[in-house]
Every structure is written in structure tokens, then in C-alpha cells.
Structure 1
Amino acid sequence: MTSIQIFQPSRMLTSVNGTELLDGIDLALEEGYQHFLIDMQDAMFMDSSGLSFLVTAYKRVRSAGGTLSLCSLKGQAAMLVEITRMDKMLDIYSDRDAFQRAINTRQDISG
């Protein structure tokens, strides 16, 4: 079974909660999690610090052989991801269900 860790920032992703996100990802990597989803359902705003935290998280997860995805992007956060072309680097899903279907499909193919 694939191990998935989900993070859901509230209201925004900035320097205020970005460190907490990275700490959570580091801990989950140590615990053996492979797939990470950042559910932006409640986060309408992300600044450059938040974007930097996403890039750092992506690099850490990828170097450990895992995947980092986003879902439920909207508002200014969605615009920032598109403008910076992060949508070309990260897998982005409409919601958690779409992410889960993609993970299940990957398992079917590889297993």
C-alpha cells in the first residue's frame, strides 16, 4: 500500500506556516511516507515565501524518491503557481479524489 501524507494549510501559505509545512514533510519522510499532497482548499493566498517553501519541499521529496502534488488550488495561490510555471513541475489535481485516483492508477500500473 502506498503511504500518503496530506497537508492542508489554512487561509494562506507564507513564511508564517511554511516552516511548519517543511518540518511536517521532513518528519513524514523519516517515517517512510512516499507521496505528499498539499491540499490548498482553505488557502486562497500564497506569497513568495510560500512558493519558496513549495520548491524546497518538492526538492526534498524528490531527492527521497517521492512525489509532491497540489490540489484544490484557487484564487491568488492558483495564479501564482501558474505565473511561476510551478504547474509544469508539480502534479496538480482538482481535489483529493482526483489525486487518489491518480495514485491508485500508478499502483495498478507498477504492481
Structure 2
Amino acid sequence: MDSQVTVIQASGSIDSISGNQLRRDVSDAIASGAKTILIDCEKATFMDSSGLGALVMILKTVREAGGRLALCSIIDQIEMILQLTSMDSLFEIFPNREAFEQKVAS
């Protein structure tokens, strides 16, 4: 995978605390030169509204830096929140990390 791609693993609940940590991780990755950020949600178990807010802020941060943000391996509950809020159209979502890697490689 490209060295300008950074994978960040989300785990447990994506809420105000972990959402803030994700925001710091993404900011650090951008500061280190990452152009593409993949948030892998394979180990995430839940997301609340503050977690959704954090993802939206992360998307804004990445776009302002001229980068690309993608999510993969989202669970049904996260997918449902994204769909109910019409945020699913804002995020690039992949079924798993392999699908993301194939897309980036092409």
C-alpha cells in the first residue's frame, strides 16, 4: 500500500472520547504527510451522535488538507446511522480493507 495511506483502527464505541482520539490520530497522520486515511471499523461495536460528529469533523479536516477519507468494515448499526442522517453519501465506504486496497491500487 502507498506510504501516503494511513490506516486507523477504530474499536469499541465510537463516541465523544474515542471520536476525539480518532480526530487526533487523523490530524497526526495528515501532519506526517498522509494523503489518504482509511478508518477501519472492523472492531467498532457502536457509534453514537458524538461519534458521527467526530467523523464529519474528520472528513472536513481531511478534505481541507486536500486528502481522501474512507471507511471500511462498518457494522450494521453504524451503516444505519449514516443512512438515516444521509451521511452515507458523504463518505467513501468499502466493505473491507481488501476492497479499499484494490481500489487504491487501481
Q: TM-score range by the shorter chain?
A: over 0.9
Aligned match of 1:77? 78
Please tell me whether Structure 1 or Structure 2 has the larger radius of gyration of its CA atoms: 1
The letter for the 1-side match of 2:95 is S
Q: 1:93 & 1:102 partners in 2: Cα distance?
A: 9
Provide the rounded CA distance (Å) in 2 between the counterparts of 1:64 and 1:22: 14
Q: Unpaired segments of 5 or more residues in structure 2? A: none
1:23-60 CA distances to partner (integer Å, 9 max, x unpaired)? Answer: 11111111100001111111121000000000000000
- Letter of the 2:38 counterpart: L
- Aligned-pair distance for 1:75? 2.6
Instruction: Single out whichever of 68-77 and 53-62 deviates more from structure 2.
Output: 68-77
- Give unpaired runs (5+ residues) of structure 1: 106-111
Q: Which amino acid aligns with 1:66?
A: G
Question: Pairwise CA RMSD of aligned residues?
Answer: 1.1
- The TM-score with structure 2 as length reference comes to 0.93
| Distance in 2, Cα, partners of 1:100 & 1:34 | 14
SS of corresponding position for 1:41:
strand
Distance between the aligned counterparts of 1:78 and 1:86, measured in 2? 9
| 2:48 equivalent to 1:20 | no
Moved >3 Å (runs of 4+): none
TM-score after normalising by structure 1: 0.89
Number of residue pairs aligned between Structure 1 and Structure 2: 105
